[in-house]
């Protein structure tokens, strides 16, 4: 499903209380009984007011009836969870408007948002359980024991874990986006003007970039961590120009050049530009002490070696690095064990085990059924309310029509819509077309 905020501005305070009541009831009930919703809502209007709100929320697809339920009740949908998270971010002044979806992954959606000052940020919405097997019906046993509610719980865990790792990595000086806020299954983080490595066709110095990436793998290991999905999809490449060159280009710029057409590149300009990697996507990170740590470590290393060979025709003359050598460096020179720090922050071993199992299920689904297929199991409300929203899902990186929501009781107008990000490609990098 895609995030649609058009209804958000029309919800009343009573609607929010009822939606929150359904969320609270979902902790112990997959199908929250209507009398319990009435009790938890505590509306002054009594049962009639609750039923009016239930009708409005169900019409908007934020709650839904459970098929074949034995009693009258409703369950929270992913759309409802999205709204509750947005409402929390808005009340904390972290999100004021929502723009285009700029990325679609197998487990998340990436949105451009802005705060009330107009500062653009990234909203990541975790959506574990989205993979289905419409093309491979025989493999439905992967997800048959997963109800929509459990996938929402796991999506919350993914957001909690990623936010905790981002904070820990940022504090240790790793090149990651700055985490700003986390609510339910969503994370707000800084927007970085950079390209995914998979969209970069050439770089000024492949050997130097390769060394930086291998260095990051080893640095993570020193802090007790393995990324677990260290590949061209989860590495952003940021270009950095010398200050003198930036000043010179600004002086040379004329009004006629202020267009969407990129200036002609000069070879010496590209040679003077350096690139640096930014790491993203951390829910699957594991400890260097994990049972399968060597497999994950080797996979991360091999992903980089394979990509650089295919894309940049670069092959390192140095073997490795190898897990057994990296293991010896854990905690060396006073390096903080970030795996232990995240566990100490409240993300328990049981939570990590549940999340890891869910991620394995999703990867198995992709391996068997192929990527990029939306789920008809993970969120049944699409069948009832959304008129097959998933069929219009944008491809990876595809821009959609902007969708701005207004925080209730604000005077924000559409003049403040955030800009879409077509054209983030900058001078030093040669980007590939959409694939």
Per the CB < 8 A criterion, the answer to whether 386 and 80 are in contact is no
Q: What is the CA radius of gyration of the chain?
A: 23
Tokens of 179: 């985490």
Q: Which residues contact 350 (CB under 8 A, 6 or more apart)?
A: none
Per the CB < 8 A criterion, the answer to whether 38 and 47 are in contact is yes
Strands 179-183 and 200-202: unpaired
Task: Using alpha carbons, list the distances in angstroms from residue 223 to 73, 185, 230.
Answer: 48, 26, 16
d(CA 111, CA 123): 5
d(CA 63, CA 70): 17
Among 109, 229, 300, 377, the active-site one is 229
d(CA 116, CA 120): 10
Please provide residue 274's backbone torsions phi and psi, each rounded to the nearest 5 degrees: -110, 155
Give the bridge partners for 200, in sequence order. Answer: 431
Per the CB < 8 A criterion, the answer to whether 195 and 237 are in contact is yes
In order, the DSSP letters of 7-55 are: TGGG--HHHHHHHHHHHHHTTT-SSEEHHHHHHHH--TTHHHHHHHHHH
d(CA 287, CA 284): 10
Per the CB < 8 A criterion, the answer to whether 99 and 401 are in contact is no
Tokens of 262: 């990129």
Among positive and negative, which fits the CA dihedral 340, 341, 346, 351?
A: negative
229 is catalytic: yes
Strands 73-76 and 97-104: unpaired
Q: DSSP letter for 259, please.
A: S
**Count of other CB atoms within 10 angstroms of residue 241:** 17
Per the CB < 8 A criterion, the answer to whether 152 and 162 are in contact is no
Q: Which residues are catalytic?
A: 229
């Amino acid at each position: 499903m895609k995030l649609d905020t058009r209804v958000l501005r029309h919800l009343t305070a009573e609607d929010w209380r009822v939606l929150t009541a359904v969320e609270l009831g979902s902790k112990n009930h997959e199908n929250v009984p209507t009398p319990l919703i009435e009790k938890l809502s505590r509306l002054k209007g009594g049962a009639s007011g609750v039923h009016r709100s239930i009708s409005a929320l169900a019409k908007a697809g934020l709650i839904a009836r459970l098929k074949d339920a034995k009693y009258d009740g409703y369950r929270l949908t992913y759309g409802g969870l999205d709204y509750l998270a947005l409402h929390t971010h808005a009340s904390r002044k972290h999100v004021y408007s929502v723009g285009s979806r700029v990325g679609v992954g197998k487990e998340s959606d990436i949105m451009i948002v802005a705060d009330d000052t107009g500062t653009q940020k990234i909203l990541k919405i975790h959506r574990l359980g989205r993979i289905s097997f419409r093309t491979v019906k025989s493999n439905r046993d992967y997800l048959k024991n997963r109800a929509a509610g459990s996938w929402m719980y796991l999506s919350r865990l993914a957001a909690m874990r990623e936010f905790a790792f981002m904070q820990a990595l940022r504090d240790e000086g790793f090149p990651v986006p700055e985490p700003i806020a986390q609510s339910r299954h969503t994370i707000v983080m800084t927007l970085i003007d950079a390209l995914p490595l998979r969209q970069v066709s050439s770089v000024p110095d492949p050997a130097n970039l390769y060394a930086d990436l291998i260095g990051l793998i080893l640095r993570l290991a020193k802090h007790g961590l393995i990324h677990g999905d260290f590949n061209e999809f989860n590495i952003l490449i940021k270009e950095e120009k010398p200050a003198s060159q930036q000043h010179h280009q600004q002086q040379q710029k004329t009004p006629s050049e202020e267009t969407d057409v990129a200036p002609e590149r000069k070879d010496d300009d590209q040679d003077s530009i350096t690139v640096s990697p930014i790491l993203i996507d951390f829910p699957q990170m594991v400890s260097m002490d994990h049972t399968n740590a060597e497999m994950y470590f080797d996979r991360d290393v091999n992903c980089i070696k394979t990509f650089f060979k295919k894309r940049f025709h670069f092959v390192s003359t140095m073997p490795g690095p190898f897990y057994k050598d990296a293991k010896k460096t854990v905690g060396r020179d006073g390096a903080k064990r970030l795996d232990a720090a995240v566990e100490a922050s409240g993300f328990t071993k049981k939570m990590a085990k549940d999340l890891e199992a869910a991620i394995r299920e999703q990867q198995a689904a992709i391996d068997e059924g192929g990527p990029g297929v939306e789920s008809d199991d993970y969120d049944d409300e699409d069948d009832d309310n959304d008129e097959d929203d998933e069929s219009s899902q944008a491809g990876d990186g595809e821009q959609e029509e902007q969708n701005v929501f207004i925080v209730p009781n604000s005077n924000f107008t559409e003049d403040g819509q955030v800009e879409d990000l077509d054209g983030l490609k900058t001078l030093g990098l040669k980007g590939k077309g959409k694939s």
